[in-house]
């Protein structure tokens, strides 16, 4: 493939690129075998903050692909790292809407997580996808933000694609809190460049040597453009090639799936 050269590392999305739900996409093991054969480093970077890095390692192992914890970067992990560089974790109380994929990285960095009924003030409200979201959680978060807590979102995905259809994602929760408080959050996941910049640091490579792989134009590809790195849109997930016609940005390459990408890497 023309110009598909000088690649020192990859930043790879997971949902829609490597699998659909619990079903591995065709060519998954051959793709990772190729990366190992070529000694091509990678970071699996996802906006999904609902599960932990350890759970992703286990999921891939169940698909006959072995990876290390250090090759995973979730928006929950990226959020915890970003906040730890700007706040003193041991002195910062955080109210979290979200599951273990967001809560555990914050705990690992030393932040203090506030309980649902604790009266103490919090310094941060952080929201990620929460499939047990309740009115009370929204009320608590809104009151903390109104009282002056800084407001962050692990990612801004408004919808979550599932076998049932497109369900409300974390972006819908952020929108509700913004409507209730008048405060807009800082979001860490794609298309913000933050998670990509952290992945570049993990790879220890300059942007011009790295290629991002994703299935969503509005997150994976736009985030790559904002970070100044090349990108591949694979058509095995959300976005279609026709969707590019109405945008003012585009991926560097468009490929059918990871099987075509594997072929391009081996050339």
Q: Predicted confidence band at 22 (pLDDT cuts at 50, 70, 90)?
A: confident
What value does the mean pLDDT of the chain take? Answer: 95
pLDDT at position 1 is 63
Q: Predicted confidence band at 163 (pLDDT cuts at 50, 70, 90)?
A: low
d(CA 154, CA 47): 7
Q: Do 9-47+190-266 and 76-187 come out as alike in CATH topology? A: yes
CATH superfamily of the domain spanning 9-47+190-266:
HAD superfamily/HAD-like (3.40.50.1000)
d(CA 56, CA 38): 23
Percent of the chain with pLDDT over 70: 98
Q: Indicate the domain borders of the chain.
A: 9-47+190-266, 76-187
Rounded average pLDDT over 204-211: 97
Record the tokens describing residue 82, joined without a space: 């970003």
Decide: helix, strand or coil at residue 167. Answer: strand
Q: Is the pLDDT of residue 162 over 80?
A: no
Whole-structure pTM value: 0.94
Q: Predicted confidence band at 21 (pLDDT cuts at 50, 70, 90)?
A: confident
Residue positions annotated with a catalytic role: 13, 15
pLDDT at position 4 is 81
Rounded average pLDDT over 113-117: 89
The secondary element (H helix, E strand) that includes residue 84 is helix 75-84
Rounded average pLDDT over 185-189: 97
Record the tokens describing residue 77, joined without a space: 């992990």
CATH superfamily of the domain spanning 76-187:
HAD superfamily/HAD-like (3.40.50.1000)
Residue of higher predicted confidence among 161 and 145: 145
Residues 6+ away with beta carbon under 8 Å from 42:
9, 10, 11, 12, 35, 71, 203
């Amino acid at each position: 493939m023309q110009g598909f050269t000088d690649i020192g590392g990859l930043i790879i999305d997971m949902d829609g690129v490597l699998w659909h739900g619990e079903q591995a996409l065709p060519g998954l093991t051959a793709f990772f075998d190729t990366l190992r054969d070529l000694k091509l480093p990678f970071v699996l970077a996802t906006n999904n903050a609902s599960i932990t890095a350890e759970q992703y390692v286990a999921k891939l192992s169940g698909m006959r692909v072995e990876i290390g914890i250090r090759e995973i970067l979730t928006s929950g992990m990226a959020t915890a790292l970003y906040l730890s560089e700007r706040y003193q974790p041991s002195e910062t109380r955080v109210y979290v809407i979200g599951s273990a994929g967001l809560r555990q990285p914050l705990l690992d960095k030393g932040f203090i997580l506030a309980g649902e009924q604790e009266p103490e003030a919090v310094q941060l409200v952080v929201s990620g996808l929460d499939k047990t979201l309740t009115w009370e959680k929204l009320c608590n978060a809104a009151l903390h933000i109104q009282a002056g807590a800084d407001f962050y979102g692990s990612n801004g995905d408004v919808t979550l694609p599932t076998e049932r259809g497109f369900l409300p994602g974390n972006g819908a929760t952020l929108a509700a809190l913004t409507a209730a408080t008048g405060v807009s959050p800082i979001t860490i996941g794609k298309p913000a460049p933050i998670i990509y910049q952290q992945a570049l640091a993990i790879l220890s490579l300059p942007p011009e040597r790295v290629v991002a792989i994703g299935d969503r134009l509005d997150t994976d590809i736009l985030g790559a453009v904002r970070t100044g790195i090349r990108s591949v849109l694979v058509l095995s997930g959300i976005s279609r090639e026709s969707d590019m016609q109405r945008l003012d940005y585009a991926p560097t390459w468009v490929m059918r799936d990871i099987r075509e990408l594997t072929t391009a890497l081996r050339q």
